Amino acid sequence: MVASEQALVTGKQLDTLCINTIRTLAIDAVQQANSGHPGAPMGLAPVTYCLWQEFLRYDPEDPTWLNRDRFVLSNGHASMLLYAMLHLAGVREVDESGKVLKELAVPMEEIKRFRQLGSRTPGHPESHITTGVETTTGPLGQGVGNSLGMAIASRWLAANFNRPELEIFNYNVYAICSDGDLMEGIGGEAASLAGHLKLSNLCWIYDHNGVTLDGPASWSFSEDVATRFVGYGWNVTRVADANDLEMLGRAFETFEKTTDRPTLIMVDSHIGYGSPHKQDSNAAHGEPLGEEEVRLVKKFYGWPEDAKFLVPEGVREHFQDGLGNRGHDVRAQWARTFAEYSKKYPELADRLHRMQRRELPSGWDKNLPTFPADPKGVATRESSGKVLNLLAQDIPWLIGGSADLATSNKTTLKFEGAGDFEAGNYGGRNLHFGVREHAMGASVNGLIVSRIRAFGATFFNFSDYMRASIRLAALMEIPSIFVFTHDSIGVGEDGPTHQPIEQLASLRAMPNLIVLRPGDANEVVEAWKIIAQLQHQPAALVLTRQALPTFDRTKYGAASGTAKGAYILADAPGGKPDVILMGTGSEVSLCIEAYEKLKAEGIQARVVSMPSWEIFEKQDKPYKESVLPPSITARVSVEMAATFGWERYVGLKGRKVGMHRFGASAPLKDLLKFFGFTADAVVEEARKAIAEK
């Protein structure tokens, strides 16, 4: 055997050794936790190894490098696959300030603590916990939806920052997905839009293993996935055996050469030992293998049967020689290019620096308006549209769009140069998501983790379609922006299918989400100021279709009180009211009407506008008690929504004017009368509250 052949054999043996190390780390971690999914990591180990070792442009020594390729594990139940890769590749930990540390992001002790309280290796990957995890995945379909946003981000960044001879952004996005990801509707939505946009920087690797948690995928899934994706406008290629590194390499090369469409690589894998001839039932159904089966699997791999968490000599070195050195060299070349770029385009370099730190440009709020008092007023969706356009002009990386409702949501960016993001023209700031709320929510999160400030908009009732994405944004602690209009029975004739009732209470129940429902145009300005400055929390901005009066702030409290979540808008003489009226959004003006009527009757009232419960709850006790004194128990809440939750503020003796059923189809004036949203009705409830105190 000649030396070159010997080296080839040795190289293949080393490949196999590394792949089996990934597999056995997953097996041992799942077995020790007595919880988890060993099968998918076992089957996908060769695929991920080939991608990372040969193709992924990623430097483990700088996992926040701006132009790194992104890797998303959409089938998040296979999390040990990712943790094993992060460990073996030597990916470094990054602290909260963005500093890269010497310690590993996933040291061996964390693999041994898989699925344990406080570990960096939770059951499904969480980006705010584990460096190297690009996005939090778990609910199937969300990861591929995020990957769409990441691919859009790469194209947008390239179009807006690259300059002749100085290419700063050209990264690719890879997502491994499962049968489940492609069964979920969000997967189809994301694939459809990616194909429409011709995002050739996006590659999905479909783990075609024919197994779901219930049993064979054939029980519920028999479509021709390849033909479906061809119909979406994707390039589709297939690898018949997940263990065939040569064919996997060719598939990734095909992706890199494809310049006019995204790529789907269908990989036929076999849950279990990683052999086409063996499949283990426990591995297939998301359970630990059991001690005896672990021994048999390790024997099949030629592994020491009693060894646990073994990383053989040469494995880490091999990853360093491949991914490590290649990633280091590519990043070093990029750093030289960026140094030249920074000298030539200092403003753009500063912009990128601020984006990474979630900072705002100087003077970002300098053009925000103050709306004059107006009894007829304007819908908060209208005032929001004006504020958004002014804000976006001064925050150049604020982009977004609507699920085919931009005209209704007033979210179109209309200033000169805003433009549309479309196939072949990726610099625009208006995104057109089509009627795809699920994919919109997930791709907004993908844009946000790419450090672009993005918003997605639709009618409030359809926030239900986006709930999983909103929830993951809150879990990831990222400042996604969700704009919702048509926020109540104020939708009128469209009827109960379009009138949100329970959505406010539902979103308020979500940890780490800021819900803002401003009561007039100037509260809208203040709400956008709050949203712009968020760094670790998503926001839901809830806006009206119908016009609301713009309050005379010389007569009533300043709108700046919005920054505290709730504030006194109108008060009794000496600050000693008989009753407190509180509301949000369109119902604040109803409280003001009732306040004036009560005043004429000699009843002293206070009106509290409460645009954000979450922000109000963060205030100190003295402030909260200054707004809602415990001694005043006569209280009335007014909100065109389910009253669930208002007992926190009105107390046991308070009254709640709200919705106790779904809405109805009728003109707004008829609905207001029918459901009791009139000043007279509020006055009557105020009298009852006073009588019962």
Q: What is the pLDDT of residue 271?
A: 63
**Yes or no: domain 374-548 corresponds to CATH 3.40.30.10:** no
| Three-state DSSP class for residue 455 | strand
Tokens of 268: 């036929």
CB 347 within 8 A of CB 397: no
What does CATH list as the number for 13-332?
3.40.50.970
Residues in the chain: 693
Tokens of 536: 């670790």
Residues 512 and 646: their CA atoms lie apart, in Å, by 19
Contacts of 333 (CB under 8 A, 6+ apart): none
The residue type found at 276 is P
Residues 668 and 665: their CA atoms lie apart, in Å, by 9
Residues 113 and 35: their CA atoms lie apart, in Å, by 11
Q: What is the pLDDT of residue 287?
A: 78
Residues 162 and 159: their CA atoms lie apart, in Å, by 6
Of 588, 595, 687, 592, whose CA–CA distance to 634 is shortest? 687
Residues 519 and 591: their CA atoms lie apart, in Å, by 11
Sketch the domain layout of the chain as residue ranges. 13-332, 374-548, 564-692
Dihedral sign for Cα 183, 185, 186, 188, please.
positive
Annotated active-site residue 437? The verdict is: yes
Q: What is the share, in percent, of the chain residues with pLDDT greater than 90?
A: 92
Q: What is the pLDDT of residue 587?
A: 98
Q: What is the pLDDT of residue 361?
A: 97
Residue 549 DSSP symbol: E
Q: Where are any strands of DSSP class E within 56-127?
A: 70-73, 92-94, 100-104
Catalytic residue among 93, 293, 437, 593: 437
Residues 577 and 501: their CA atoms lie apart, in Å, by 30
Residue by residue, DSSP assigns 27-52 as HHHHHHHT-S--HHHHHHHHHHHHII
Strand partners, 422: 425
Give the per-residue SS3 of 425-441: ECCCCEEECCCCHHHHH
Residues 145 and 446: their CA atoms lie apart, in Å, by 7
Tokens of 594: 């009732």
Phi and psi at residue 433, in whole multiples of 5°?
A: -85, -15
Cβ count near 299 (within 10 Å): 11
CB 21 within 8 A of CB 88: yes
Q: What is the pLDDT of residue 429?
A: 98
Helix axes of 3-33 and 79-89: crossing angle, nearest 10 degrees: 130
CB 112 within 8 A of CB 75: no
Strand partners, 605: 579
Residue 608 DSSP symbol: E
CB 59 within 8 A of CB 65: yes
| Three-state DSSP class for residue 86 | helix
The residue type found at 79 is S
Residues 71 and 49: their CA atoms lie apart, in Å, by 12
Residues in the chain with pLDDT values less than 70: 1-9, 271-286
Residue 373 DSSP symbol: P
Q: What is the pLDDT of residues 447-489, one digit of tens each?
A: 999 999 999 999 999 999 999 999 999 999 999 999 999 999 9
Per the listing, tokens 């989400």 go with 513
Residues 331 and 339: their CA atoms lie apart, in Å, by 12
Phi and psi at residue 327, in whole multiples of 5°?
A: -65, -40
Q: What is the pLDDT of residues 59-109, one digit of tens each?
A: 999 999 999 999 999 999 999 999 999 999 999 999 999 999 999 999 999
Same fold: 13-332 with 564-692? yes
Q: What is the pLDDT of residue 276?
A: 38
Q: pTM of this prediction?
A: 0.96
Residues 310 and 301: their CA atoms lie apart, in Å, by 13
Per the listing, tokens 């993001």 go with 421
Residue by residue, DSSP assigns 192-227 as HHHHHTT-TTEEEEEEE-SB-SSSBGGGT----HHH
Q: What is the pLDDT of residues 475-531, one digit of tens each?
A: 999 999 999 999 999 999 999 999 999 999 999 999 999 999 999 999 999 999 999
CATH topology of domain 564-692: Rossmann fold (3.40.50)
